[in-house]
Amino acid sequence: MEWENVPEPKIQGINQAIVKPIAVSRCDLDLPIVNGYTLFRPGIPIGHEFVGMIEETSPEIANQYPKGTKVIIPFQISCGICPDCTLGRSKACTSVPYASHYGMGPSAKEFGGALSEKIWIPFAKQMLIPMPSDMDVISLASISDNIVEAWKLVGQWLEKNRILL
- Full domain range(s) for residue 147: 17-157
- Using left for φ > 0, alpha for ψ between -120 and 50, and beta otherwise, residue 3 falls in beta
Span 147-162, pLDDT tens digits: 766 666 666 666 666 6
Collect the ranges in the chain with pLDDT lower than 70.
146, 148-165
Q: Residue 11: inside a domain, yes or no?
A: no
Note the pTM of the prediction, 2 decimals.
0.84
What pLDDT does residue 104 have?
Answer: 82
CB-based contacts of 125: which residues, under 8 Å, 6+ apart? 15, 61, 64, 80
Among the residues of 27-156, which ranges form H helices?
30-34, 83-86, 108-111, 124-127, 137-140, 147-154
Paired with 119 in beta bridges are 19
What pLDDT does residue 52 have?
Answer: 96
What pLDDT does residue 43 have?
Answer: 77
Specify the 3-state DSSP secondary structure of 50. strand
Q: Residue 57: inside a domain, yes or no?
A: yes
Q: Looking at the 3D structure of the chain, how many domains does it have?
A: 1
Q: Residue 83: inside a domain, yes or no?
A: yes
Q: Residue 6: inside a domain, yes or no?
A: no
Q: Contact, 19 vs 52, CB < 8 A?
A: yes
Q: Residue 52: inside a domain, yes or no?
A: yes
Burial status of residue 72 (CB atoms within 10 A of its CB: 0-12, 13-18, 19 or more): buried
What pLDDT does residue 35 have?
Answer: 82
